Structure 1
Amino acid sequence: MPQPVPTPSPVVSAPPAAAPTAAELLDFVRRTAADRDLVDSLPLDPEGRTWVRLDGPGGSEAWLIGWPPGTGTGWHDHAESLGAFATARGALTENALAVRLPASGWKTLELADGLDRSRRLSEGDGRAFGRHHVHEVLNESQDTHAVSVHAYYPPLPLIRRFSRAGAVLRLEQVERPEDWQ
């Protein structure tokens, strides 16, 4: 007599995690920036930025970044990713454009008046931003390192780098993850 074949149990998988919102990313970077042991573990280089990849919430990409005095990112965006960052030590300045730029199809844009925004983020301060947010982040101190925490969702598909001369913004380079990881 044949033996009965056991019926396999149905596989129940957990529902996919919801994509983190900009507010959730901001909460994460603020909490992480307050972790003194983590912040103090970042090796600092007197000449160039240093960074360590972190596990962000909901599959986001996160970074702990050290900024020597007088360094910055240059103008850039994070393509289709939304993001947040918080200053953990020192102070950073963010210069941003209050306009969403086209995702593609241009090399040079003339910017209208009144689009520039600037904010200083001291220790504990943070901000969130949406897709195609064009900005530059600077450590304007001449003698103090800054440290910050950044998170992006979805993980960065690319970064577009721009040059700026007055009202003219020019696309200079497109970087992919293999360029910075």
Structure 2
Amino acid sequence: MPDVRTPARPRPAATGGPGPGAAELLDFVRRTAADAPLVASLPLDPEGRTWIRLEGPGGSEAWLIGWPPGTGTGWHDHGGSHGAFATAAGTLTEQSLAAQLPTEGWKTLELADGVDRQRTLADGRGRAFGPHHVHQVLNLSPDAHAVSVHAYYPPLPLMRRYSRTGPVLRLEEVERPEDWR
């Protein structure tokens, strides 16, 4: 995957408080997704995701991400951080679990019926999520790139990656910030 890490324009930080909440992160990603010159500055690659790290509000971590057709994140969580994302161009599909998973002490879980959720997010649409959110984000388009903005608070301490076969979810690896910066 191409590694595009050029810093984008800084964003003002929130003042006071322990950090931005979900509503503030959602507002930030929606406003940033509407910044056409910033979105256009992201180099797009036909074979791999590209990204630019952004300054999020109140010390949050933020990213502008390009998604070639047919790409996705795979199942993952955000290591206890809450966050938000919005689509700036194209359409993304989010598949998520409506169940809180234990964070430690397991390798394989069988998911109950009815925990799967799916939503489609087109230009400008976004969503916020809590610290126990498990999902995957996909660009299901066969021929169009998508671009999105993501923000997390506190900055991601780790990400757990999962594989899934039917109702069985398996913890595959734990990534740390040094793995993706």
Between Structure 1 and Structure 2, whose CA radius of gyration is higher?
1
Alignment deviations for residues 72-121 of structure 1 (CA, whole Å, 9 cap, x no partner):
00000001100000000000000000011111111110100000000000
Number of the residue aligned with 1:61:
61
Q: TM-score, normalization: structure 1?
A: 0.91
Number of the residue aligned with 1:103:
103
Q: TM-score, normalization: structure 2?
A: 0.91
Q: Read off the aligned partner of 1:168 and give its amino acid letter.
A: V
Number of the residue aligned with 1:48:
48
Q: Percent identity?
A: 77
Number of the residue aligned with 1:22:
22
Number of the residue aligned with 2:158:
158
Q: Secondary structure at the match of 1:19?
A: coil
Tell me how far apart the structure 1 counterparts of residues 106 and 23 of structure 2 sit (CA, whole Å): 31
Tell me how far apart the structure 2 counterparts of residues 132 and 63 of structure 1 sit (CA, whole Å): 20
Q: Read off the aligned partner of 2:110 and give its amino acid letter.
A: E
Tell me how far apart the structure 2 counterparts of residues 44 and 159 of structure 1 sit (CA, whole Å): 24
| Alignment RMSD | 0.9
Segments of 4+ in structure 1 off by > 6 A?
none
Q: Secondary structure at the match of 2:124?
A: coil
Tell me how far apart the structure 2 counterparts of residues 154 and 76 of structure 1 sit (CA, whole Å): 17
Deviation at 1:17, TM superposition (A): 4.6
Q: Secondary structure at the match of 2:113?
A: coil
Q: Secondary structure at the match of 2:174?
A: strand
Deviation at 1:132, TM superposition (A): 1.9
Deviation at 1:71, TM superposition (A): 0.2
Number of the residue aligned with 1:125:
125
Q: How does 1:124-143 map to 2 (within 5 A)?
A: 124-143=124-143
Q: Which runs of 5+ in 1 are unaligned?
A: 1-14
Tell me how far apart the structure 2 counterparts of residues 104 and 154 of structure 1 sit (CA, whole Å): 19
Q: How many residues are aligned here?
A: 167
Number of the residue aligned with 1:85:
85
Tell me how far apart the structure 2 counterparts of residues 136 and 18 of structure 1 sit (CA, whole Å): 28
Tell me how far apart the structure 1 counterparts of residues 16 and 126 of structure 2 sit (CA, whole Å): 28
Alignment deviations for residues 40-81 of structure 1 (CA, whole Å, 9 cap, x no partner):
000000000000000000000000000000000000000110
Q: Which runs of 5+ in 2 are unaligned?
A: 1-14
